[in-house]
Amino acid sequence: MEKEQLLAMRHSCEHVLTFAMMRLWPGKIKAAMGPATEEGFYFDFDSDLKIGENEFAKIEKEMAKIIKEDLPIIKDEMSVEEAREFFNGNNYAGNEYKHEWLDEIAGRGEKVSVYWFGHKGEDLPNTFVDICSGPHVESTGKIGAFKLLKVAGAYWHGDEKNKMLQRIYGTAFDSQEELDKYLYIIDEAEKRDHRKLGQELDLFYFSDLVGAGLPLFTDKGTVIREELQKFIWELMKPYGYTKVTIPHIAKNDLYKVSGHWDKFADDIFHVTSRKTDQEFVMKPMNCPHHTQIFAARARSYRDLPIRMSEVTAVYRDENTGQLQGLSRVRSITQDDAHVFCRLDQVQEEVKSLYEIIQKFYQPFGMPLKVELSLSDSKQPEKYLGDKQVWHKAESTLRDLLKDFKIDFKEVEGEAAFYGPKIDFKAQDAIGRTWQLATIQLDFNLPERFQLEYTDETGKKVRPVMLHRAVLGSVERFMSVLIEHYAGNFPVWLSPVQVQFVPVSAKFNDGVKALVQEFKNLNLRVELDDADETVGNRVRKAVEQKTPYIIVVGGRELEGGEWTVRLRGVEEQLKISKEEFVNKILSEIKERK
């Protein structure tokens, strides 16, 4: 089923959920809102009833009944006045949420689009009607396999100042087979939830005193962050990238010139100084700062390309209700780079970035699919620059992908506000896809900041700007990795690579010397000499998903063969100390 058809079916299924609940509890449910999503759908409602998952079987039975009735789904229009009168009765009396939508529609001077589920003019239990712009399937009988998933709290409009509503999540697919596959994935995803594993493995925490969406990384979590950053830098350095450093705040003028001020006004943190009248902001993006490094001195065509790289935090004022573990935070560490180059250098620079991205994802076993993200021709106001600039940028990237003989699909409406981009979708171990890496082509920011270089004829020319991210946000990528590996990180990424467990206290000094020997080889090792049984100490290391656990006694210290417990393998490895050291160093070097 095509994506648009699937979204229409899920949207219809969400309305069937609302319909079913209003049939089951007439007059006790205030329907607020509920869209289709990439994963399914959800519906927010206000009620004195506390509807939990124990009610799902009853709700699903009623939904199935509505689907079986094969009721027509009919679009209709009302004036705002007609809609106000209609939604003052007809099972909607006292529903302030519908009237808030009507106020917004009235402010736009539009008519009210509604959909009837059943025959127009009838009322519950035969017919349900709601404010909606669609699209929907033709009738309830066109809805495929569905399932309700969970209940959660959600603030109206995602604003914690508003009332907390109840939200029911569900999903729908064209066939039961597709639904079963999805249910397997979400069951696995629940087991792998990075928020749960992050706490269990002592990787990161959140503090109410620090604030929501501001993660605190432990020493173990920091190991993973630094290994990822080191890997990216190893890949980038041979291509001529250099590191730069910028501050975390800037005058708001910088973002007014860049266009971020208008496009992201609600997401910017404002900073007030008591010693100056200037207004500052916490940087939501790094690219405007980097343009100012380029603009700081005269540039010649011989200087280009200039490749700036930085791993640094940006800050977005996300609604509390939208925050989710490391997946969506307010302090976002970006692995960021910007290339300033001549037009004739774009192909080679994009090719280099493509190679870096391919090399980075190879060790993780996450296959990549490529998309060309274009502007939405129906909403040009969302983007900076004129049509000619956008056409040139989009054509350039399209031609490059064709020249590289890369399979890709075009997606309208997914471009950045300043330019089109090549997006890379990585598939994780349980089949989910994540948009992580990106290469963006930008003619607009060089124009807005009046950037220029002198060409070989002495003429002043605008450079082309490339934005690129390999892993995107460090926080979000870590959430993906934790779930991809279910916490079983490969040796090179594991915070603790080897756990030594002395057989008894009399061997502690000998094992401490062994630990130091391994640390001198830059291996991450720990010693558990707690006054507990060997079995308990081994069990703790297993729970921490340590790749190698070695129980050490007199034989091992005297040069005898080691018995090494490998993570996830029942049969233990018999190996000499020298062979083990060579094995683990080789795995780290090859990033296994």
Strand partners, 410: 372
d(CA 39, CA 100): 27
For residue 139, what are the CA distances in angstroms to 13, 74, 115?
10, 8, 11
Contact 412, 426 (CB under 8 A): no
d(CA 287, CA 137): 43
Report, as residue numbers or ranges, the catalytic residues: 287, 316, 334, 336, 338, 421, 467
287 known member of a binding site: yes
Q: How many helices (H) and strands (E) does the chain have?
A: 18, 27
119 known member of a binding site: no
On the CB side of 591, CA atoms within 13 Å amount to 14
Tokens of 533: 């049984």
Q: Which long-range contacts (CB under 8 A, 24 or more apart) does 532-540 make?
A: 534/501, 534/503, 537/501, 538/501, 538/565
For residue 418, the tally of other CB atoms under 10 A from its CB is 28
What is the chain's length?
592
In the block, residue with structure tokens 């708001």: 252
Residue 213: partners with Cβ closer than 8 Å, 6 or more residues away: 206, 318, 320, 323, 328, 329, 330, 331
Contact 140, 15 (CB under 8 A): no
For residue 362, the tally of other CB atoms under 10 A from its CB is 12
For residue 340, what are the CA distances in angstroms to 69, 246, 264, 344?
61, 17, 24, 12
194 known member of a binding site: no
Query: Given CA atoms 192, 196, 200, 206 in this order, what sign does their dihedral have?
Result: positive
d(CA 221, CA 477): 12
SS3 116: strand
What DSSP character marks residue 271? E
In the block, residue with structure tokens 């648009």: 4
Q: What residues are designated binding site?
A: 287, 338, 467
Q: Point out the annotated binding site for Zn(2+).
A: 287, 338, 467
